[in-house]
Amino acid sequence: MEKKTCSANNCNKEAKMQCPICLKLGLTGFFCSQECFKKNWASHKLLHVSKDLENTYNPFPSFKYTGNLRACYPLSPRRTVPSSIKYPDYAISGASKSEEKASSSKIQVLTPKEIEGMRKVCRLAREVLDIGARAIKEGITTDEIGKKAYPSPLNYYNFPKSVCTSINEVICHGIPDKTKLKNGDLVNLDVTLYYNGFHGDLNETYIVGDSTDETGTKLVQVTKECLEKAIALVKPGNLYRDFGNVIEKHAQQAGFSVVRTYCGHDNKTAGIMRPGHVFTIEPMINEGNFRDVTWPDNWTAVTRDGKRSAQFEHTILVTETGCEVLTARLADSPGV
């Protein structure tokens, strides 16, 4: 029998085992030990992705894409959620009856018990986002990142995945697929978890690899600053409509624009912050103009001019004296 050499970098020892996934895919992947296999897994698994990408296709060949990004199918099978986990009301039907019945003009004041429920789910959501963010690197697919998240998005009005992954010109609601990330890409991960009756929601935009152009770096930083400036306004008695004013002013001063399609209020809407209110702020800032179009999947929103977009989001509790950022970054959270 022909002797095999270990596939790990700088290891020329005789191989004693084969990667089981390589065996299924018909690839060559031999290692000298379990320890060597585990140590080199992060780089080795990219071979599996490359093999998987050989049979990908663009599902919308006649669609006039606005930028360089293309949908890359087939999608992986939809995840199944264990029956032991409490489902949101749309998990089976796709339609949220509770959301449709809720009044959009009245913001609920949460009880202390409900606030603790929100704190718990938001902490979990932060942990999940950070896990996904640590997986971001050149060569990985957005579908691999999506497999790390438990879904609030899954089957929400038929959304097919557990997380939103939005690359470059995608503003929001990007569907994880076979697209491989490239060095310098901007990628937004939007994670929402459902736990014990509460949703925790946050997102951040990351730069893939070790570099991007100056404008891309500036876009990410300014978008983060827009969120920070809006959060600084959160306290009892302040108006919800003031968020839009401070976000738009900061974005425009930097030469960017604010997306207008996906927003919960405009600058004329009445509404006063009260202790016990919980809500999200998520500025979507475009490198070019504010206009958007939607791909034929009926979810992926992209910039009409094909230029890049960035987004950051936190879930926030109004307290008696100010606010508490329920999805706040941890000391070891990756990214900016």
Q: Would you say 68 and 52 are in contact if contact means Cβ atoms under 8 Å apart?
A: no
Q: Would you say 98 and 91 are in contact if contact means Cβ atoms under 8 Å apart?
A: no
Helix, strand, coil percentages (3-state) for the chain, rounded to 5, are: 30, 20, 55
313 in a labelled binding site: yes
Q: How far, in Å, CA of 329 to CA of 239, rounded?
A: 25
185 in a labelled binding site: no
Residue 112, preceding peptide bond in cis (omega within 30° of 0): no
Residues in the chain: 336
* Beta-carbon count within 10 A of 83 CB: 7
* Beta-carbon count within 10 A of 140 CB: 19
201 in a labelled binding site: yes
173 in a labelled binding site: yes
Q: How far, in Å, CA of 71 to CA of 78, rounded?
A: 17
265 in a labelled binding site: yes
Q: How far, in Å, CA of 31 to CA of 308, rounded?
A: 42
190 in a labelled binding site: yes
Task: Report the binding-site residues.
Answer: 173, 190, 201, 265, 282, 313
Task: Report the binding-site residues for a protein.
Answer: 173
Task: Report the binding-site residues for Zn(2+).
Answer: 190, 201, 265, 282, 313
